[in-house]
Structure 1
Amino acid sequence: MALNIMIVDDEEVIRLGLEKIISKMDLDVTVIGSFGNGMDALNQLSKYNPGEVDCLITDIKMPMMDGLRLIEHVREKLDRLAIIVLSGFSEFEYARQALRFGVMDYLLKPIDKMQLYELLKLLKSKAVNDNGTMSMKAAEDTGDWADHEAGEHYVVDQIKGFLDKEYDKNFELERLAETTGMSPSYISRLFKSTTGHTITDYLIEVRIEKAKQFLVDHPDLKNYQISQLVGYSDPVYFNKLFKRMVQMTPKDYKKRNTK
């Protein structure tokens, strides 16, 4: 089934560039509209029924009607339409505001072709509903977090909850993205911008805290066993990491904290 996309950006070179990039992708994707402002795009969108347009790619700052207003109006009638926001670094805060309307992701200019490809591929694979039209499974999976005032924090809490439970397994960003129903690049940036830490840094902190618990609660366990229990197959690497994080070796920590 073809994926129907609408592009909105006041810079013609951006619109033409996106159309060219998309046309060369080995995905069944069709650009059914390209507009220079939100007003024209909204007028055209109103002529379509839900499900006839699968994805809206829109800039933030535009004349007549900006991207945020466009998204706000779109969400009143097309609440399942996947939306990707384009923004420059100077418009990053506007892109963050767009998150509360449940955008799928945002792309920084200049556009990363591979990132766009992965997003469209993800959208196509997100499942086709019973009527044969595309649906955003992500919105369902996250409990319609777009309508939640703290939508960003909800997703971050989901990520933390997952890592708190799965800390002993090999870390795969793709699997985490699949769990949240978001794209890998999106959750990475969202987590960093919300917490100030990368997902990897958070996972390391969780693992080290778990290692401390094992050292104190189960002093009979060998170092290599604790290493494996918290997700590290190499006990030497675990030792170095623990010392860097705690300022002492696991052995010294156990000695200092057990009776």
Structure 2
Amino acid sequence: MEIVELARTVRERDPARPSWIEAVTCYAGLQAVLMHRLAHALYRRRFKALARAVSHTNRFITGIEIHPGAKIGRRLFIDHGMGVVIGETAEIGDDVLIYHGVTLGGLSLANRAGPGGKRHPTIGDGVAIGAGAQVLGPIRIGDGARIGANAVVASEVPAGETVIGIPARPPHEHRILTGQSVGRAAPPSPGYGLLDQPCDPVGEEIATLRAEMAALRAELATLKRQAANQATSQAGVPAAE
């Protein structure tokens, strides 16, 4: 019975360890998935207006908007859930974790494959998507991938990969782009609930800011040296090495 499977998933994956009654009655993500099953069944039988009515009621009750045409696998856990939006042609595999504020959306009004074509992402099995992340377009997120909080993903993510930031990239690429390769600070983590070890979001933000300041100071020092060398050369004095 799916309600039991979903409640077991909630109890296993939520650190709050709710009771069975709490999991069934107080978790909007569980309720949203169950209501979507009804909406999707009506949608497949071409009762589209009724399906949209059920979907609209689902959004009103849970704060989670799932188009009745979306395909959702087993044991989806939407934690907190408020503000989650899942588009019509989105496909979600089994054992996926989605936090609040996530959008599985499209990039344009036109279908790539014409009417009824694919516009929204396909999420593989065991994927975790952090709060506020935007996954956009007809792309695939590979099995076991992790998407950091507030990331914007518009290209394919390989299986098992972790991506963060805007645009979403693996953490080591962000270290290079922000000058963190000097080793002064660790890269930001994907976000709460996406790592096996505890993480400190505030500390990570401070570490990122320190790394950016160090890169800016190094760049400023270089510019000062260049200006001093130019001034001395114009004055006819040999430039300092």
TM-score (normalised: structure 2): 0.34
Structure of higher RCO (CA pairs closer than 8 Å, 6+ residues apart): 1
For the pair shown, the structure with the greater C-alpha radius of gyration is 2
TM-score (normalised: structure 1): 0.32
